[in-house]
Amino acid sequence: MAETFGQRLRALRTERGMSRQELAAKLGLTYFSVVQYERDERAPRPEVLARIADILSVSLDYLMGRTNDPTPYTAHVDWPEGLRAIRRAGKRLTEQDKKMILDIIQWVTEKEKEAQNPEITDDDEEGL
């Protein structure tokens, strides 16, 4: 059975050694509001949900049970800045460096596709 928002909230809070009162204070809410969230009796407003994710250092998708990867969004690559850095360095990059960067991007993209759509290999078919 999938974890509910309240179950994840409680687990994350306790893993971090935080009391309900401490979380409530950080959120500017009452203790009872946190209790209601953890019991799935009430859902937080979107802005409160975002603050909970920030305080607990997890992504909103993880908090809501949409993924099992708790990595907060801010921990992911800042693509616009990353692209600007590549653009700035582009004049100093050799053709070999540029090819290496493109190869890495292609490799990561292919790995992501494989993870989303695993194909049956010849080895897999032997067990069928």
Residue 4 pLDDT > 80:
yes
Same domain, 88 and 108: yes
Q: What spatial distance separates the first Cα and last Cα of the chain, rounded to whole Å? A: 29
Question: How many C-beta atoms lie closer than 10 Å to residue 126's C-beta?
Answer: 7
Please give the residue range of the domain that contains residue 48.
5-75
Per DSSP, 74 falls in state G
Number of domains the chain is built from = 2
| The model's pTM | 0.56
Q: 37 lies in a domain? A: yes
Confidence (pLDDT) at 2: 65
**What is the percent of the chain where pLDDT is above 70?**
77
Q: With b meaning 16 or more CB within 10 Å and e meaning fewer, what string describes 24-48?
A: beebebeeebbebbbeeeeebeeee
Interval 73-121: pLDDT, tens? 655 555 666 677 777 776 777 888 878 887 887 887 787 777 766 554 4
Q: 123 lies in a domain? A: no
Over the chain, what is the mean pLDDT?
Answer: 81
